[in-house]
Amino acid sequence: MSEAGLRRKLDKAFLLQAVLISVVAALSVYAAAFVLEEVLVKQALRAEADYFWRHYDAQRQFPKPDTLNLTGYLGALEGGEGLPPELRELGPGFHGSSALDYSVVYVTEHAGQRLVLVFDGGSVNELALYFGLVPLTIVLVMLYVGAWIAYRQSRRAVSPIIKLAHAVHDLDLEHPNAAVFEASGFKDDPNEEVASLAAALHRFAQRINEFVDRERSFTRDASHELRSPLTVIKIAANMLLSEQELSTPAKNSVERIKRSATDMEDLVGAFLLLARESEQGLSREPVCVNELVAEEIERASPLLAGKPIDVQSTANVSLVLNTSEKVLSVLIGNLIRNAFSYTDEGRVTVHIGDGFVCIEDSGIGIPKQEVEKVFKPFHQGHSQRRGGFGVGLTIVRRLSERFNWPVNIESQPEIGTRVTVEFPGAQSEPLTHTA
């Protein structure tokens, strides 16, 4: 099972969360520095300048601002006498400079004097550190710790689900082990939903076991109980046919009984095959499709009695398929018998090509709207001819789907029907002669 499941998605989600938190924290630090410089510091410098000029108007000797973080310079408007040389050219407003260790300079002019207030850059950095970075670091640590705890709890919460997913993925439907879903295996999980899911899967596995047991019992019993009477019927029919004094009509009736018993035996075999859940137990061996077609034509030949029909079997290649001979004979035999049964005169051609078998007849045909219906159980077409069970093509369709042998039907009323069966993976060998 792929590891790119809940656990990896959970890891990605929390990693993305950590990255987003870090990005937001970095942006917050820059925002804090901006707020300190653009709002708090500049607002404080404006207030200091206003305060100084008000008192300066009342008392010319009012001292200039001079504190730990703030230094004031007062000089003449013209020439800048009394101001440091590097500050004399600055006009009114806020300025920044890297020439000295300061970050914010505020210049105002009043009454022919120029006041320059210089706020210490180191103090701005300290303020950003104390009021911005430190609180954000504490918040970040708390967020990361909380995210880590949530991550651990989430991993613990999804672990039983991952365990269930692996158990379901590894479940053998032929021999399901219900014990892997027992609630005791999830006793450490406080999640009630997980326990309910495990219990439901446990019941499901038990039911699969019961279904498998019933299937095996049915196929075993049906194989014996249904085939035994058919074998008795065929033996009795052979004994009747050996009687010398049996009249011709009676022999024809016995032949029909024997043929029907053979057909029923094949039908029972097909049903038992389709009743199995898998192909385990079916013998697989190289089967020559050419020889099998010839055998099925011979077996179905009694259906042509009294009919002016020309049967031809042609082949371009020798087709060999690695499969169960019984399965293939059921599928092709049904198609050939169908062609013989629904053709009163004309021809039936069985052609073997590269990877396919085509059975074409000049029978009564099938209306376009009936073509798909012929694959439905007990559907016998518009003719309603007696003698069929109406399940032959249903078996053909189910076998074709089961073994991936596509079947295509083309038909026109009163013209005939063409049925093509494809065999992917079949081996084709050239023929030295045409069959």
pLDDT in tens, 107-147: 998 888 899 998 876 666 666 666 666 777 787 788 778 77
What is the distance between the alpha carbons of residues 43 and 15, in angstroms, rounded to a whole number? 41
Q: What DSSP line would sit under 198-245, residue for residue?
A: HHHHHHHHHHHHHHHHHHHHHHHHHHHHHHHHHHHHHHHHHHHHT-TT
Task: Count the residues in the chain.
Answer: 435
> Tokens representing 390?
């109406």
Q: Which CATH superfamily is domain 284-430 in?
A: Histidine kinase-like ATPase, C-terminal domain (3.30.565.10)
What is the distance between the alpha carbons of residues 254 and 16, in angstroms, rounded to a whole number? 82
Q: What's 173-278's CATH class?
A: mainly alpha
What's the whole-model pTM score? 0.50
Q: Say if residue 89 is exposed, middle or buried (CB neighbours under 10 Å; 0-12, 13-18, 19+).
A: exposed
CB 52 within 8 A of CB 115: yes
On the question of pLDDT at 273 being above 80, the answer is: no
Same fold across 173-278 and 284-430: no
pLDDT, mean over the chain? 78
Rounded percentage of the chain residues whose pLDDT exceeds 90: 16
Q: Measuring CA to CA, how many Å separate 374 from each of 213, 239, 248, 332, 349?
A: 33, 37, 36, 16, 21
Please compute the mean of the pLDDT values over residues 267-276 and round it to a whole number: 69
On the question of pLDDT at 1 being above 50, the answer is: no
Q: What is the pLDDT of residue 103?
A: 67
> Tokens representing 394?
């249903």
Structure-model confidence comparison of residues 305 and 358, the more confident one: 358
On the question of pLDDT at 377 being above 60, the answer is: no
Q: What is the pLDDT of residue 358?
A: 96
Domain ranges of the chain: 6-143, 173-278, 284-430
> Tokens representing 283?
């013998």
